[in-house]
Amino acid sequence: MNDFAIYPTTAGDSTTPDNTGRERASDVLLRIGGEGGERVSVDEILSHLDDRSFGFVLLLLGLLSCMPQPPGATIVIGAVMMLVALQLVFGRHVPWIPNRLRRRSLLRSTFRSGIEKVAPTLKRIERLCKPRASSLTRGLFERLAAMLIVVCGLVIALPIPVIGNVLPGIAVVIIALSLIERDGYMFATGLVAGLSALALIAALVGGAALAVI
């Protein structure tokens, strides 16, 4: 069996549409959390995504990096984030995920609880998003943002407590939402947030290293 899978795009049912009439990202994630079955796999989550699949995958990874995780989980999250972002850098149109990762799962109740905690904030951000200056979210600009996300994924994978996960995770969430909604203004905000997060983390880690020396 091929060790990798390419996920085709599928259309979801709209409940709370965005400005293009499509279901909002928060509603898609809440719907997945509310479906049957004791566990939810990466494969199941990806099967609900439409042509915004890259944005959705990065959004989910960014949200996970902002939540408390068991030891070692952020290494996996950061590695998958880098894998997905690199595909954007090289111009892929749908995510390419190893089969062993798409078979990974977690309790649906855990997934639902985590999404319900972040959904109110996510919905507030979504209300600010709408398709505008969409050329900033495509082509070269999209690839530059993907390169920034690769660096954010690397930082998330490193053993840097709290800020090493949350700050770059927030930036990835903002960039992902901007890609989903094709919002150039939110896209620019995400880039600034990402660069600021990386600069702050570098300054703090550098300062701590100098203090030890």
Q: List, as one string, the DSSP characters of 105-154.
A: EEEHHHHHHHHHHHHHHHHHHHHH--SBSGGGGSHHHHHHHHHHHHHHHH
Q: CA angle 88-84-42, nearest 5°?
A: 140
- Name the average pLDDT for the chain: 82
Which pLDDT score, from 0 to 100, does residue 16 have? Answer: 52
User: Which range of residues forms the domain containing residue 24?
Assistant: 12-212
pTM of the model: 0.76
Helices (H) and strands (E) in the chain, counts: 9, 4
Which pLDDT score, from 0 to 100, does residue 9 have? Answer: 36
With a pLDDT cut of 90, the percent of the chain lying above it is 28
Asked if residue 7 is part of any domain, the answer here is no
Asked if residue 6 is part of any domain, the answer here is no
Asked if residue 167 is part of any domain, the answer here is yes
Output 97 or 109, whichever has higher pLDDT: 109
Asked if residue 2 is part of any domain, the answer here is no
Number of domains in the chain: 1
